[in-house]
Structure 1
Amino acid sequence: MRTPRPGEPGWMDYLAEGNAKQARKRVCADALIRDPEGRLLLVDPNYKAGWDLPGGMAEANESPLDALRRELGEELGLHIPVQRLLVVDWVAPHTPWDDLVAFVFDAGILDPDRAATVRPHDDELTACAFFAPARALRHLPAPQRRRLEQALPALATGQTAYLHNGVPAW
């Protein structure tokens, strides 16, 4: 049987079948947000151990950037410009989860007044705080720590890092 071509009868059915069979990836998007002193904003989610970068999981058919903007608004009441992509990290399957693609974006430096008033805006977060980079790294679980260890040089150099499980892929 011949595969239909775009515009031919059966083309949309062919695409729908392919879409139903192809793998789906989970996506998370986090932000590197700093205060004027260079400290990093971390959040303390109540649904998992350890602190994390602000952000979260993308919903179905939501771009990583849109997911980040939504999560920052929902969780912290922040509606700030996202400046650039720092890290893309492919994370291998880990019990009980399939693989995912994690993005870390630079969301800039908050002005002093805004930084002083950042607070959790929903019940998913227990707290949020700014930490010096070395201290922030100590607060993060290993996967997020490895990602941040690569995001900080990417922030300084302007070179996006591509990682596998938090380690440069090349």
Structure 2
Amino acid sequence: MDPDAPLYERDPKAWNAYLAEGNARQARKRVGADVLIRDALGRILLVNPSYKPDWDLPGGMAEANEPPAAAAQREIKEELGLDLEIGRLLVVDWVPPHGPWDDSLMFIFDGGVLPSDRVGALRIVDPELSEFRFTTAAEAAELLRPYVWNRARSAIAAISGAQAIYCEEGEGRSWSGN
């Protein structure tokens, strides 16, 4: 074995131990995944969680080692009994530490437009939710916490664009291209 070869070539076990040590020390982020679902009138679906005071977009927290899109799909099925193809990524939002919570990354995916028969078939199947409704943007702005509304507003804007929007605390960031 070449003594000048990189560690990952010389000693794969030592390389894996090095990676494991780094993994144990590095920060871990909480990840949430929501879905922007619309009806034929362009209203957005909001849910009212029973465990917190404010309305929210449908979705929830990813489980350990679960991809965000899979978490979104799972949460929609668990909460609303909705088998939904998750569309493209609309928003990634960094949420700073608040209260007892560390910072997190929130993803919003496009859930598309539900036809009226599927809207009529929606039902709550998880006691974590007390109700749901389709709202106009103005109604959503009143029901959602301001930073969640900002995130949702960015997702609505991203639907007509070609790229996802990166936000911090719900505010979209612009890039100079440098």
Match of 2:8 in 1: 5
Q: Which residue of 1 aligns with 2:62?
A: 58
CA contact (8 A) 2:147 2:171 kept: no
Q: Could you say which structure has the larger radius of gyration?
A: 2
Q: TM-score normalised to the size of structure 1?
A: 0.94
The runs of 5 or more residues in structure 1 that have no matched partner are: none
Equivalent of 2:28, from 20, 24, 29?
A: 24
1:104 counterpart letter in structure 2: I
Superposition map of 1:21-170 within 5 A: 21-170=25-174
Residue 157 of structure 1 aligns to a residue in which SS?
Answer: coil
d(CA) in 2 for partners of 1:36, 1:56:
24
Tell me the secondary structure at the aligned position of residue 68 of structure 1: helix
Amino acid at match of 1:62: E
Deviations 1:58-116 (A, max 9, x none): 01111100110110010011111111111011111111111000111111011111101
RMSD of the TM alignment (CA)? 1.5
Q: CA deviation at 1:152?
A: 1.1
Aligned residues: 169
Distance 2:164 2:90 in 1: 5
Alignment partners' CA distance in 1, 2:160 and 2:118 = 23
Which stretch of the first structure deviates more once superposed, 6-15 or 47-56? 6-15
Following TM superposition, by how much is the alpha carbon of 1:159 offset from its aligned partner in structure 2, in angstroms? 2.7
Point out the more displaced range, 7-16 or 90-99.
7-16
Report the Cα offset of residue 121 of structure 1. 0.7
Deviation at 1:169, TM superposition (A): 2.3
Matched letter for residue 95 of structure 2: V
How much identity, in percent, do the aligned residues show?
Answer: 50
In the TM superposition, structure 1's runs of 4+ consecutive aligned residues that sit over 6 Å from their partners are none
How far residue 46 of structure 1 moved from its aligned partner, in angstroms, is 0.5
